[in-house]
Amino acid sequence: MTNKEIAQRFAELADLLEFKDENAFKVRSYRRVARVLEDLSEDVAELAEKGTLEDLPGVGEATAKKIAEYLETGRIRRLEEAREGVPEGIAEVLGIQGVGPKKAAMLFKELGIGSVDELEEAAREHRLRDLPGMGEKTEQNILRGIRIARSGTERMRLDVALDAAAMVIDHLEGKQGLVSRITPAGSLRRRRETIGDVDLLAVGDDPAAIIDEFTSGPYVADVLLAGETKASVVVEGDPHPQVDLRVVDADEFGSALQYFTGSQAHNINLRGLAKKRGMKISEYGLFEGDDRIASAEEEDIYRALDMALIPPELREDQGEIEAALDGSLPDLVEPDDIRGDFHVHSDWSDGRNTIEEIAEAARERGLRFVAITDHSRSLTVANGLTEERVREQIEQIERVNRSLSDLQVLAGSEVDIRSDGSLDLPDDLLAELDVVIAAIHTGFKQPRRQITDRLVAAAEHPHVDIIAHPSGRLIGRRDPYDLDVPELIRACARTGTALEINANPERLDLTDGYCRMARAQGVRLAIGSDAHGVEALRLIDLGVAVARRGWLEKDDVLNTRPEPQLPKRQAGEA
């Protein structure tokens, strides 16, 4: 963390000095220091302790002193001096695409612009176009930059990013002979739960034609940058997804993909490892001296470092490099392993499709079982089922099952956990169901002790098979409940209750890190699409992505068995 913090301080110092039109040499040198610190694999505090800061490229005595000063006091006096006389809003102005420190200085001097709001107003009133070196076009660019900065602070949901990537890839692959390879990189390839921007990597004989086609596709809302081998566009969507495309040489595809997949923390660790072995790694290849020893395929790079290919979902510097070195990487669960869906709503509660339609769609997806888990009675807003309706539904499902040979429809319920921890349906009815998933839908704000007890009580209930969306968060809309998740995981381990990975892109809950914790304690995970319409059954793949990021193998995930093998029911039946 400190490396990054100090890097940011030096970058800010460079910007401020340039804004004030001070020594250009210092501006360049501070900017270089910022980059070096950003990419450093060692801890800068350790280097300071050893007295070897000055061995870093671009770091002289004065800079080393500033770093030491920050480490000791949390401040850099030179930076504080530089901030004097500069309006606070300038930092934000500098963050607008197309406004560098020089332009910001001119805007400040000529028009007194000290904030993004003032900049926007001036651009709208056409007061920028008459300034030296500016014109109508610059004005428009600045307004666009402001728009992007405001929407760009929001990360997009995984499904939005996947759709944006698919749209661009389809378009480019649709042009005969244009691209020979094209694939997502960055956080999208790692399947993070939210995505800042979509990164794509392509290979083709005519990079200029690829860039042309990419920046003129029907999906384009705005072109941010169009270079010779690199371009950025904003596509239609909410928030407007930014898509970056890079075209690379076929023989550098592997090293570029490795580099641009990240994460940065993973790459820094890998670079440190290469260095220890006298090698250098970059987006252009793995080098030993001047010899390039790997670059065409990602696998070649990892192999040359004595490792198996590390799946992108694991590349977060959470021990995956160490595991790859000692051959203990998990054999991750895959979308093709999935045989069933544990969480689907029908038109009996708030879903849109009939049980028959759901069964048909599940069969088309190649599933062997699908659980109908409508809401229970107290969830009146979702048309929750009364006891009587649940009994009717069980009969209806039996009828549907008699007409099906290759798919099993499970009679289930997403039973509400009431605020005292008791369940919303009687025990004898729950015992009759094939699968019971229990969830909280009210009383999210209960204190930690109470909400934890409530979920633990549900896990301890003899007929509850799965705890649904355990943390309750809605990405970007609602924080998780104040729940002691490790305690719930322990309760599930004790009682043989599974935890859900809810695959709805707004939930992705249980989250990846806790999946790993659950696995370590032998808790099984059950992926549910939580589909309210058959088109959403495909979202189960996002749950698989969370499982993979949580280091889960096929056996850890209950959906991979051809028949639902719920631990508690098996124990009960034995």
Convert residues 218-257 into a mask of x (bound to ligand DGT by CB under 6 A) and - (unbound): ----------------------------------------
Nearest CB to Ca ion, comparing residues 187 and 376:
187
Instruction: Answer with the entry of Ca ion, ligand DGT, none that 262 interacts with (C-beta below 5 to 8 A by kind).
Output: ligand DGT
Give the one residue of 41, 263, 354, 450 binding ligand DGT; rule: CB under 6 A.
263
Q: Which is nearer to Ca ion, 260 or 342 (CB)?
A: 260
Q: Could you say which residues in the range 234-263 bind Ca ion, by CB under 5 A?
A: 244
Residues 6 or more apart whose Cβ sits within 8 Å of residue 375: 345, 349, 350, 382, 383, 384, 385, 413, 414, 416, 441
Instruction: Indicate the residue whose CB is closest to Ca ion.
Output: 186
The site map against ligand DGT for 198-217 (x = CB under 6 A) is -x------------------
Given candidates 260, 302, 342, 348, which one binds ligand DGT under the rule CB under 6 A? 260
**Residue from 255, 267, 497, 560 that binds ligand DGT (CB under 6 A)?**
267
Answer positive or negative: Cα dihedral of 84, 87, 88, 93. negative
User: CA 242, 247, 248, 253 torsion: positive or negative?
Assistant: positive
186 interacts with Ca ion by CB under 5 A: yes
Other CB atoms within 10 A of residue 292 CB: 16
**Quick one: which of 254, 262, 330, 505 contacts ligand DGT (CB under 6 A)?**
262
* Interacting span for ligand DGT (CB under 6 A) from 164-172, 193-201, 303-311, 477-485: 193-201
Under the binding rule (CB under 6 A), the answer on residue 318 touching ligand DGT is no
Tokens describing residue 231? 């371009």
Q: Does 195 bind ligand DGT (CB under 6 A)?
A: yes
- Evaluated on CA atoms 541, 542, 544, 545, the torsion sign reads positive
CB 119 to Ca ion: min, Å: 24
Report the nearest approach of Ca ion to the CB of residue 181 (Å): 18
Residue 197 interacts with ligand DGT (CB under 6 A): yes or no:
yes
SS3 218: coil
Identify what 424 binds: Ca ion, ligand DGT, none; CB under 5 to 8 Å per kind.
none
Pick out residues in 21-60 that bind ligand DGT (CB under 6 A): 38-39
154 binds ligand DGT (CB under 6 A): no
Minimum distance, C-beta of residue 195 to ligand DGT, in the bound complex (Å): 5
Closest residue to ligand DGT, judged by C-beta, is 262
Residues contacting residue 74 through CB under 8 Å, at least 6 positions apart: none
38: which residues sit within 8 A by CB, 6+ positions away? 3, 4, 7
Binding ligand DGT (rule: CB under 6 A), the pick from 101, 152, 186, 412 is 186
Inter-residue contact 333 to 557 (CB < 8 Å):
yes
**What secondary structure letter does DSSP report for 376?**
B
Q: Which stretch binds ligand DGT (CB under 6 A): 53-61, 264-272, 374-382, 489-497?
A: 264-272
Assign residue 516 a region: left if phi > 0, alpha if psi is -120 to 50, beta otherwise? alpha
- 245 makes contact, choosing from ligand DGT, Ca ion, none, with CB < 5 to 8 Å by partner type, with none
- Of the candidate spans 186-194, 456-464, 469-477, 509-517, the one that interacts with ligand DGT by CB under 6 A turns out to be 186-194
Q: Where are the beta strands (DSSP E) in 227-267?
A: 230-235, 242-247
**Which stretch in 192-200, 212-220, 284-292, 531-539 sits in contact with ligand DGT by CB under 6 A?**
192-200
Measured CA to CA, the distance from residue 457 to residue 488 in angstroms comes to 9
If one asks whether residue 197 binds Ca ion (CB under 5 A), the answer comes out as: yes
Q: Does 193 bind Ca ion (CB under 5 A)?
A: no
Integer Cα distance of 443 and 86 in angstroms: 48
What CA dihedral angle connects 392, 394, 397 and 401, to 10 degrees? -130
Q: How far is the CA of 258 from the CAs of 40, 48, 330, in angstroms?
A: 18, 31, 20
Residue with tokens 């010899």: 291
Using CB under 5 A, pick the residue from 199, 374, 500, 512 that binds Ca ion: 199
Helix or strand (DSSP H, E) at 97 = none
CA dist., res. 26 & res. 227, Å (int) = 29
Chain residues in the site for Ca ion (CB under 5 A): 186-187, 197, 199, 244
